[in-house]
Amino acid sequence: MRESIIELRQEHPEYSISEISRLTGFSRYIVTRTLKEHGLQTKREHTIYTCPSCGKVVSKGVKLCRQCRHVTAICSYCGREIVRRRADENRAQKLGYRHRFCSKKCQALYMVMVRNVGK
Ligand SMILES: [Zn+2]
Ligand SMILES: [Zn+2]
């Protein structure tokens, strides 16, 4: 998975090509090419950028770190907290989904409950 190269770079701008190569198992040539293809730094970053939300080190141009890109929602049926990707949450909001479920089971139970109330 060449994505691991990109992820590693985005999370660790301070890593050199050889460190990424060692950690991902790809050759230095593949690592360099992959980074270039994605417009990412091939040289180790000296200026450290941090996530504005939690202060974790992120690569240049990244707005939020991976953790902060997630949001928590509450299951509409059982009330349990669900960790969702922020992008998914935004999409759900755009589509007008009002309910979030932690599992298919909760979704099904909720549907049954709503149907019974409607009677
Ligand atoms: Zn963060
Ligand atoms: Zn639930």
Q: Measured in angstroms, how far is the CA atom of residue 30 from the centroid of ligand 2?
A: 43
pLDDT for the residue 102: 94
Confidence (pTM) = 0.47
Q: Measured in angstroms, how far is the CA atom of residue 58 from the centroid of ligand 1?
A: 8
Secondary structure (DSSP) of 15-72: --HHHHHHHH---HHHHHHHHHHTT--SSPP-S-EE-TTT--EE-TT--S-TTTTEEE
Domains defined for the chain, CATH in brackets: 3-58 (1.10.10), 70-118 (no CATH)
Q: Measured in angstroms, how far is the CA atom of residue 115 from the centroid of ligand 1?
A: 41
**pLDDT tens-digit series, residues 93-118:** 899 988 999 999 999 999 999 888 76
pLDDT band per the 50, 70, 90 thresholds, residue 119 = low
Cα Rg of the chain (Å, integer): 20
Please give the Cα distance from 119 to 116 (Å, whole number).
Answer: 5
**pLDDT tens-digit series, residues 6-37:** 999 888 887 889 999 999 999 999 999 999 99
Q: Measured in angstroms, how far is the CA atom of residue 9 from the centroid of ligand 2?
A: 35
Q: Measured in angstroms, how far is the CA atom of residue 106 from the centroid of ligand 2?
A: 5
pLDDT for the residue 74: 93
Cβ(70)–Cβ(55) below 8 Å: no
